[in-house]
């Protein structure tokens, strides 16, 4: 074991880019994430202790292939809440896909 294995991990947070930074910020706030300004081009979005960094950076291949996997206790309950929010009407460019079972989860 190396030295890092003796440390308590506090978080692992991805950096994601945005084609439209302000619109992306609005979307994540509408989902219920809290937003913390770190710099004019970087925000931390958190839901309880989970989080990610949204940066004002657009690399088409990177952004077009980014997916966040949000694991919850009841995916059915969260799906009902998401569909009730009608986010795809306000944000037609966003893909929110129905629940499906994959080899890595539901």
* Signed CA dihedral, 52, 41, 29, 79: sign only: negative
Long-range contacts of 43-48, Cβ-Cβ distance < 8 Å, separation of 24 or more = 44/13
pLDDT for 10 = 83
pLDDT for 100 = 86
The mean pLDDT value of the chain amounts to 90
pLDDT per position as a tens digit, 65-99: 888 888 889 999 999 999 999 999 999 988 888 88
pLDDT for 104 = 78
**CATH 3.10.180.10 residue ranges in the chain?**
11-58
pLDDT for 97 = 84
Model pTM score: 0.83
Chosen CATH of 11-58 out of 3.80.10.10, 3.40.50.1370, 3.10.180.10, 3.40.1710.10? 3.10.180.10
């Amino acid at each position: 074991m190396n030295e890092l294995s003796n440390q308590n991990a506090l978080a692992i947070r991805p950096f994601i880019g945005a084609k439209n930074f302000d619109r992306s910020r609005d979307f994540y706030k509408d989902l219920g994430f809290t937003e913390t300004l770190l710099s004019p081009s970087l925000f931390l979005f958190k839901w309880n202790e989970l989080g990610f960094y949204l940066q004002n950076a657009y690399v088409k291949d990177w952004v077009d292939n980014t997916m966040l996997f949000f694991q919850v206790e009841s995916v059915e309950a969260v799906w009902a809440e998401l569909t009730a929010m009608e986010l795809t009407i306000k944000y037609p460019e966003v893909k929110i896909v129905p629940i499906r079972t994959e080899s890595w989860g539901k």
